[in-house]
Amino acid sequence: MEFKIVGDSHGPFMMGLIEGIPAGLTIDKETIDAELRRRQKGYGRGERMHIESDEVDIVSGVWNGMTTGAPVVLMIGNKAANPIDAKKERTVPRPGHGDYSAWAKYELTDLNAYTERNSARWTAALAALGSVAKQFLTIFDVHVMGFVASIGKVHVDDTLFDELQKDFDAYIEKRDNSLVACPFEDISECMIQEIENVAFKEATTLGGSTKTFATGVKPGLGSYSNVFNKVDSKIGRYFMSIPSVKGVHIGHEDVSCTGFEFQDPFTYENGRIKRTKNFAGGIEAGITNGENIVVTTYFKPISTLANPLNSIDLETKERCKAPYIRSDSVIVPAATVLTESVLAMILMEEIVDGFGNDNIELIRQRYFEKYSQMDL
Ligand code: EPS
């Protein structure tokens, strides 16, 4: 299975492609559109979100609402044209953005050119691909959910996330009622205060982290055949491709405990092999172990600052301030959709790799037959 994303931030459209998707999968456009709307939301999003009202166009690989086995192509139009001052050549890079590193590689003098690919606009296509993957996973009773765990210095204690895993549906509703996608009302309120008191007041930006869970994941998905393609290797690769991500952690975050404390003991309950806890985060040796997958993702603060940092004009080498270009103050709430998307894409790939890629019904039968025979 292969995923591709193309399109310029201020060109006519963004496009996502999935190759190797089985035939017979029903794809619901409304469900994709709801995810696109979720990606546009969140306290601290920039002006571009008022310009766009994202909606998907399924342009290939679907016949009468069902996949045909051909590549599925999802298109999202862009309403925003280039900002007015982007028409002037820009030679001053923003520290932390891709301006300087892309200039060093591609050697085009107008730094505006790099914004087309380095803008997070392409994540609209990622959210659309992720929604298809989530629709695929529901057939296998697998569900993927993301929540904001921290913004700036305000964070959710891990014990609350243990509580949340006992009743995902209730917390999803609470998350969707929060302006910052944090399901704990009082902490959500503190996060909003943090955005107002720090990001808005100081004309700066804030980073944070998300927790992403996958439930209903059977043990034995993935493979150790290619060590660079193990499920945890792929989590590193796919999650790190999301803009602003600087770190990804699987399972229990405090690794200062002993081996005795860290490993998850086996137990046998109601005819099922289980664990007494889940520090491994659902993956052992690169293969799923049947517990919830738990991924923490760390986002740096967005690099475009209204109160700009020192920079250098790459042409004249004169010291100057970095330019301010329309941007977001905080993207962590929106990023919950993206971490869900990449985790769903990885799990869809593992199911297709393990159980064949021709027809969804045949894959479903093979999958449930294996696990009912193994009593898992
Ligand atoms: C974004 C689109 C971009 C930015 C932002 C997120 O649109 P524009 O550049 O026209 O304002 O708002 O991108 C960045 C964070 C960035 O650094 O470029 C989006 O659709 O998510």
For ligand 1, atom 8, name the residue with the nearest CA: 48
CATH, residue 233: 3.60.150.10
* Total domains in the fold of the chain: 1
Distance 15 CA to ligand 1 centre (A): 16
318 occurs within a structural domain:
yes
- Average pLDDT along the chain, 376 residues, taken 10 residues at a time: 97 97 98 98 94 96 97 96 79 97 98 96 98 98 98 97 96 98 98 97 97 98 96 98 98 95 95 94 98 98 94 98 94 98 98 94 97 91
Whose C-alpha lies nearest to ligand 1, atom 10? 48
The answer to whether 33 touches 54, Cβ cutoff 8 Å, is: yes
Contact 244, 207 (CB under 8 A): yes
Classify residue 223: in a domain, yes or no: yes
What distance in angstroms lies between residue 126's CA and the mean position of ligand 1's atoms? 14
Q: Which of 9, 35, 114, 300 to mutate to test the pocket of ligand 1 (most atoms within 8 A of CB)?
A: 9
Residue 127 lies in a domain: no
- Residue 307, SS3 per DSSP: coil
335 in any annotated domain? yes
State both tokens at 53: 């009202």
Q: Per the domain annotation, does 265 fall within a domain?
A: yes
In a domain, 54, yes or no: yes
Residue 265 CB neighbours (<10 A): 9
Is residue 57 within 8 A of residue 40, CB to CB? The reply is: no
Decide if 128 is inside a domain.
no
Centroid of ligand 1 to alpha carbon of 243 (angstroms)? 10
Please state the atom number of ligand 1 nearest to the C-alpha of residue 10: 10
Instruction: Print the domain residue range for 349.
Output: 2-122+133-373
| Pairing label, strands 143-151, 154-155 | antiparallel
Rounded CA-CA distance 219/244 in Å is 31
Q: What is the pLDDT of residue 81?
A: 78
Count of residues for the chain?
A: 376
Q: Please tell me if the CB atom of residue 46 comes closer than 6 angstroms to any atom of ligand 1.
A: yes
Regarding the beta carbon of 119 and ligand 1, being less than 6 Å apart is answered yes
| 245 within some domain | yes
pTM of the full structure = 0.97
Output the CA 200–ligand 1 centroid distance in Å.
17
Whether ligand 1 lies within 6 angstroms of the CB of 48 is answered as yes
Ligand 1 neighbour 328 (Cβ under 6 A): yes
Whole-angstrom distance, CA of residue 132 vs CA of residue 349? 12
What pLDDT score was predicted for residue 320? 97
In this predicted structure, what is the pLDDT of residue 16?
A: 98
